[in-house]
Chain A
């Protein structure tokens, strides 16, 4: 089961503004791709176009040759899972109920009920929410909700995982563990695309980064090619320095004072 996401000169306009223009991108199974860039760069728009939530005003986006703008919800739900920055929205169900909803795409498949339950329990354990299983979502913190959302994405078990700032509300320990979960999913053949604000998290874990600014891809490539002093200083309008990570084989991004 190999998977390919293909974006061909995708543009998106809304309310007279161009939010994304001429984005061409191919992501293959096995890859963990980080989308980085300043606020308003179009990162979430890009992710939602891949998810099929937004329909591009030019170009097209496909997952395994299926156009995400015209593929039915049921079929899409077996191709891609999506995690929003809030994890799961406020609702009265329990954590276990919500993670089990990740199995909804397969309700008509020939799968034993026990296997569904097993997948759900496993997903909750991997994201460290098993101890919250009986709690209603409304009683959780934002960080806990984010991990519940990730558990549901894992339970959905799709070849494409789309994550919008999956670590934004997490403590450092959970940030690293979530990145490791994404890494493992990629290693098992999924194509994982994550919008990340933390450049060091992106540098340490992603195979490849796409730096967006004002709706355009500024640079794409290995973290060490994308994260450079000059590029970051210009794009973020903030003096930056990139040095080699003392332990890991990746760049380390530091902010500097304004001159």
Chain B
């Protein structure tokens, strides 16, 4: 399945990939801020930044507050959620040595969702976003460590994925039962927990989730090199000095924390953590440092693009962002599956 990529060509691909994705991300974030029910131009955007960052000493206009209080936190949330999904997807695939391991498929995201709802239930009206993110992270970590136990017992990768899927569906059922029975305006709707949504992205939510996602991304980037060694199998990695049990635990905790932040902020959005690393691995080869780094940018790009579409294509109706990532991601995933099947045969 892997093709030969020459070293020089690989360097070019890395720089091209990074530059291309960064340009796309910034472009999509800017256009995401310009599009919406209130139409604004680049000039309005600059005005809003000028006023709010203190460069312009002019009274605030309506567009300034729309941009600053609604659209900017929303595109930032999209980028943050996508980055979190991308890095955890890449790291999970490496840790479980399974290219289909993804925060959604192996049950981390739904369990984090259950944790988030518990966080909302435990706080009095008004809620504490940080507690919610924290309990979402606890859920994500618990699911990740549980799946590690499963992986040590079942060696067959398809069986492992089915266990993860069952765990996720079970958690989702509990989540659904609680959300629907409770029926409180304090809890995001069931759709949010199945297909995600970024309409509730306020500065408060953003700043509560950011530390979780950023910390996870930094830890996973630092641990990228030993993840490469793990691709040789746990025994060989141990021979080369990796304390495998401890290392895997740290990676999985980071993944759970990152997913906790992403789910607490954007709900359960599927396929991003799956297809972004899959595509990038083909482009960049197997090295985890670049794979994880670019998966952050790639995931961010995908979610910002999907979210901009989600709130504009059928305006004023908003489509859940996870539906769009699935519409794009599912065929890509199927294409990879059938390709892998053919080349393995």
Contact = CB atoms under 8 A, between A and B. Distances in A.
B342 interface: no
Contacts of B4: 134-136, 139
Given A88-B236, A92-B285, A105-B240, A134 B7 contact: yes
Contacts of B7: 134
Interface stretch (A14-22, A27-35, A73-81): A73-81
* A51, A74, A82, A93, most chain B CB atoms within 10 A: A93
Given A107-B225, A135-B4, A101 B285 contact: no
Nearest to B238: A73
Contact of A76 (B235, B236, B241, B244): B241
B241 A93 contact: no
B2 interface: yes
A81 B242 CA distance: 13
A135 B4 CA distance: 6
A177 B331 CA distance: 51
Given A134-B4, A136-B4, A93 B239 contact: no
B187 interface: no
**Consensus secondary structure, chain B interface:** loop
A89 B236 contact: yes
A72 B250 CA distance: 17
Contact of B228 (A76, A101, A134): A101
A222 B312 CA distance: 82
A219 B238 CA distance: 32
B238 A101 contact: no
B286 A156 contact: no
A139 B4 CA distance: 9
Contacts of A77: 239-241
A134 B6 contact: yes
Interface in B1-32: 1-4, 6-7
B244 A136 contact: no
Contacts of A98: 232
> Chain B interface: which size bin?
20 to 34
Contacts of B233: 89, 91
B334 to A, nearest CB: 22
A102 to B, nearest CB: 7
A51 B239 CA distance: 8
B244 A73 contact: yes
A82 B235 CA distance: 10
B243 interface: yes
Contacts of B226: 104
Contacts of A156: 240
Contacts of B236: 84, 88-89
A135 B243 CA distance: 28
B2 A101 contact: no
B90 interface: no
B241 A73 contact: yes
Interface string B151-195: 000000000000000000000000000000000000000000000
Contacts of B285: 92
B145 interface: no
Contacts of A138: 1-2
A198 interface: no
B330 interface: no
Nearest to A89: B233
B232 A105 contact: no
Contacts of A92: 1-2, 231, 285-286
A53 interface: yes
Interface in B229-279: 229, 231-233, 235-236, 238-244
Interface string B271-312: 000000000000001110000000000000000000000000
Nearest to A91: B231
Interface in A99-137: 101-102, 104-105, 107, 134-136
Interface of B: 1-4, 6-7, 225-226, 228-229, 231-233, 235-236, 238-244, 285-287
Given A89-B233, A92-B2, A156-B240, 17 more contacts: A53-B238, A53-B239, A72-B243, A74-B243, A82-B239, A88-B236, A91-B233, A92-B231, A92-B286, A93-B286, A97-B287, A101-B232, A104-B225, A104-B242, A134-B7, A135-B4, A138-B1
21 contacts: A51-B239, A53-B239, A73-B238, A73-B242, A77-B241, A84-B236, A91-B232, A92-B231, A98-B232, A101-B228, A101-B229, A104-B229, A104-B240, A107-B225, A134-B6, A136-B2, A136-B3, A136-B4, A138-B1, A139-B4, A156-B240
Closest 3 CB pairs of A and B: A77-B241, A92-B286, A105-B241
